[in-house]
Structure 1
């Protein structure tokens, strides 16, 4: 199963617009799950993944990063990101 790490922050306006899309996809998708990560509460993960902007989406498959996109996204863009 693929996992999408969604790096976000409460103060980030694009994150606020994107979060409902992430939550909807998380309910709908069976082949991928989302992990919502607040950058202010998870500095070690932020550093280990080299996060420089939010929102950032990192696609993980079998423990390996296979994709990354930065910025607010539409539902369609996220589906393409996850499923190609």
Structure 2
């Protein structure tokens, strides 16, 4: 079981899991948006500066940054074959995904999260 008090946050405020166990804990409990990214990804670098605004607009979600290279097995299991990608999970149940190889815009991500919220 992961320790909530050990949350590591990135510069943009997103939670960055320290272990596969911690990542699994977030997938099992809570309303979470998993943001799959990588340091070398140009399209990821394009959207990262806008993520704090997206997070602020959707406080009902907890945002988890997942390094695709560090968690390559998780990315494969979740069928994440293009980044940046977003998967919304609520208490272990996938609610929606924005997964493709295209550059994402702030408006596209916001629209996706609004649709998932219903």
Q: How many pairs align?
A: 84
* Structure 1 residue runs without a partner (length 5+): none
Distance 2:66 2:76 in 1: 13
- Structure-1 residue corresponding to 2:104: 73
Residue aligned with 1:20, SS: helix
TM-score, normalised via structure 1 length: 0.84
Q: CA RMSD in A?
A: 1.6
Per chain length, whose mean CA-contact separation is higher, i.e. which structure has more relative contact order (CA < 8 Å, sep 6+)?
Answer: 1
Deviation at 1:28, TM superposition (A): 4.0
More strand by share: 1
Distance 2:38 2:76 in 1: 15
Deviating 4+ runs (over 3 angstroms): none
Distance 2:31 2:113 in 1: 8
* Structure 2 residue runs without a partner (length 5+): 1-29
User: What does 1:12-51 correspond to in 2, within 5 Å?
Assistant: 12-51=41-80
